[in-house]
Amino acid sequence: MTLTQVRPDQAPPASAVAPRRLVPRRHPRASSPLIRDGIGMATWLSLLVVVGLWVAGGGVQDLTGWGSGLTSIGRLTGLLSSDLLLIQVLLMARIPVVEQAYGQDELAGRHRLVGFTSFNLMVAHLVLISAGYAATAGINPFVQFWEMVVDYPGMLLATAGTGFLILVTVTSIRKARKRLRYESWHLLHLYAYLGVGLAIPHQLWTGQEFLASPVAAIYWWTLWIAAAGAVLVWRLGLPLYRTLRHDLRVSAVVRESPDIISVWMRGRDLDRLPVASGQFFTWRFLTGPGWTRGHPYSLSAAPTGDTLRITVKDLGDGSRALAEVPVGTRVAIEGPYGRLHAGARSRPKVTLMGSGIGITPLRAILEDLPQRPGDVTVIYRASTEHDLVLTRELEQLATQRGARLFHVVGPRVAGRDSWLPQQAVHLSDADALRQLVPDIADQDVYLCGADGWMASARTAALSCGVPSSRIHLERFTW
């Protein structure tokens, strides 16, 4: 293992990296656990309301007969599926209070769980309703299903919506996702909004609960309007406003290494953009075909009043194409997002642990994190010296801010999950971390890197006595 601590006399001179005028910003605050609990309780309450409306509509009494019982259970599964579909939309509508409460990585996991549960209930709804109606009418279930699609109001739209939801669900299965580029998967995933918009209205027109109960109709219309409004405001309206308001343009494209580039952008009144170092945007570079595909990249430098910067490793077609983006290209933004910022800090001392390209948001945090000399330790893990990114900037910032900077270089440990290189195989992950940061248990720990590496580093921090609430990370896998 190559372990290097950069000392002030070893760092590049202050002139090596041009100083930048940072704008004082109010860092986002860490979300209260009460907000998370409230969101969870609201979700479960909505499901209880749906069951209550089903009971009030005679759902239990209908269980006495075979055909009516299948139909009644089919109605219930359909109602629960619709409720979860709309909750799923709200979870990923980028509502600020929800996004800050969970973070995009945890929200994506909950979105996935809710989505698959809703899809399974939707399939059960189709099967049970068709079987129940067929048993009551004494006809073949397939004939009954066809008649529903053709003759019932809104069912053709619902069938089209179901098709879009099936497409989204199938491409969300892990094996299918691995075969798709992120950009393609993201574009396909947007069809979920169209699927929800087409699949649910048939219940408003033909559902027993809606026709018989004004309370149920009010509940469902309110939930549907809330979901649609959240998408229009937070996924469409606010990004469009910020894109037009700040007028970001590419000002420079800098190749940091053969496979890593930095893109500098200049804009208007960026001091009014509520972004903190460590957060990320979904970027769209308006260069021609393919501009609709969004790319999530973190800031790699603290934002100023007129500049933003990202640093990207060549991991696919989208990141590779950034090297060819012309200066002057307009940039559409969606964000900022993420909880990896100074507002999550709860202790005076902080350890920033980054691996590979994951060091970039931590470099931005180091630049404007309020600190005294000795408060911050940076641990930068890389497989080879070639893989180190922005080292001169990190070394200068460490010197200017009085932070400790360690480069931990070497191939991965073979045979065990570890954040350490092979040369440190004789050390446990926790012991190695304590050697670098003896008081780690009294600090906040920020992590950024590949999922497996972050999991190992998190386990090491927990073993050193760092509470999980003081370990901050953001996953970007999809």
Confidence of residue 413 (pLDDT cuts 50, 70, 90): confident
For residues 295 and 367, state if they share a domain: no
Residue pointed to by tokens 């399939």 = 123
Least confident of 7-16, 47-56, 277-286, 364-373: 7-16
Least confident of 6-20, 227-241, 328-342, 429-443: 6-20
d(CA 363, CA 398): 10
Q: Which amino acid type is present at position 417?
A: D
Per-residue confidence (pLDDT) for residue 11, from 0 to 100: 43
Per-residue confidence (pLDDT) for residue 14, from 0 to 100: 38
- Which domain covers residue 311, as residue numbers? 244-337
More confident residue, 457 or 21: 457
Per-residue confidence (pLDDT) for residue 267, from 0 to 100: 95
Has residue 308 been placed in a domain? yes
Considering the chain, what is the average pLDDT of its residues? 83
Average pLDDT, integer, range 370-391: 92
For residues 128 and 228, state if they share a domain: yes
For residues 446 and 362, state if they share a domain: yes
Per-residue confidence (pLDDT) for residue 12, from 0 to 100: 44
Q: Is the pLDDT of residue 167 over 80?
A: no
d(CA 357, CA 380): 10
Per-residue confidence (pLDDT) for residue 197, from 0 to 100: 63
For residues 79 and 15, state if they share a domain: no
> Angle 393-394-396 (CA atoms, 0-180°, nearest 5)?
65
Per-residue confidence (pLDDT) for residue 13, from 0 to 100: 43
Q: Is the pLDDT of residue 207 over 60?
A: no
Beta-carbon contacts of residue 333 (< 8 Å; ≥ 6 apart): 239, 242, 243, 246, 248, 281, 282, 283, 284
- Please give the radius of gyration of the chain, using alpha carbons only, rounded to the nearest integer: 26
For residues 157 and 295, state if they share a domain: no
Residue pointed to by tokens 């200068």 = 396
Has residue 478 been placed in a domain? no
Count Cα atoms within 13 angstroms, Cβ side, for 457.
Answer: 25
d(CA 270, CA 285): 18
For residues 78 and 164, state if they share a domain: yes
Greatest Cα-to-Cα distance within the chain, rounded to the nearest angstrom: 89
Has residue 27 been placed in a domain? no
Cβ–Cβ under 8 Å, residues 295 and 320: no
For the question of whether the overall pTM of this predicted structure is more than 0.85, the answer is no
Least confident of 144-148, 162-166, 189-193, 437-441: 189-193
For residues 365 and 333, state if they share a domain: no
Has residue 28 been placed in a domain? no
What residue spans of 138-251 are helical by DSSP H? 141-151, 155-172, 174-178, 182-189, 191-199, 201-206, 208-212, 214-230, 238-246
Query: Environment class of residue 468 by beta-carbon count within 10 Å: exposed (0-12), middle (13-18) or buried (19+)?
Result: exposed
Has residue 108 been placed in a domain? yes
31-40 pLDDT per residue, tens? 667 888 888 8
d(CA 145, CA 134): 8
d(CA 89, CA 44): 16
CATH of the domain at 40: 1.20.120
244-303 pLDDT per residue, tens? 999 999 999 999 888 899 999 999 999 999 999 999 999 999 987 767 778 889 999 999
CATH of the domain at 349: 3.40.50.80
For residues 253 and 393, state if they share a domain: no
Least confident of 108-117, 210-219, 223-232, 328-337: 210-219
Confidence of residue 339 (pLDDT cuts 50, 70, 90): confident
- Choose the final residue of a domain: 288, 313, 337: 337
For residues 330 and 354, state if they share a domain: no
Has residue 60 been placed in a domain? yes
Has residue 457 been placed in a domain? yes
Q: What are the distances in angstroms from CA 255 to CA 322, 323, 390, 443? A: 10, 8, 11, 35
- Choose the final residue of a domain: 210, 236, 262: 236
Number of domains in the chain: 3
Average pLDDT, integer, range 383-406: 92
For residues 174 and 307, state if they share a domain: no
For residues 151 and 214, state if they share a domain: yes
Average pLDDT, integer, range 170-187: 62
Per-residue confidence (pLDDT) for residue 447, from 0 to 100: 95
Confidence of residue 179 (pLDDT cuts 50, 70, 90): low
Phi, psi of 255 (to 5 degrees): -85, 115
CATH of the domain at 330: 2.40.30.10
Per-residue confidence (pLDDT) for residue 318, from 0 to 100: 58
User: Could you tell me how far CA 44 lies from the centroid of its own chain?
Assistant: 22
Residue pointed to by tokens 């910020």 = 242
Q: Show contacts of 52-56: CB within 8 Å, 24+ apart.
A: 53/79, 53/209, 53/213, 53/215, 53/216, 53/219, 54/79, 54/209, 56/213, 56/215, 56/216
- Choose the final residue of a domain: 183, 209, 236: 236
Beta-carbon contacts of residue 438 (< 8 Å; ≥ 6 apart): none
Q: Is the pLDDT of residue 317 over 80?
A: no
118-166 pLDDT per residue, tens? 888 988 988 898 888 888 878 887 877 777 766 666 666 666 667 666 7
User: Could you tell me how far CA 323 lies from the centroid of its own chain?
Assistant: 25
For residues 212 and 144, state if they share a domain: yes
Cβ–Cβ under 8 Å, residues 447 and 457: yes
Per-residue confidence (pLDDT) for residue 191, from 0 to 100: 58
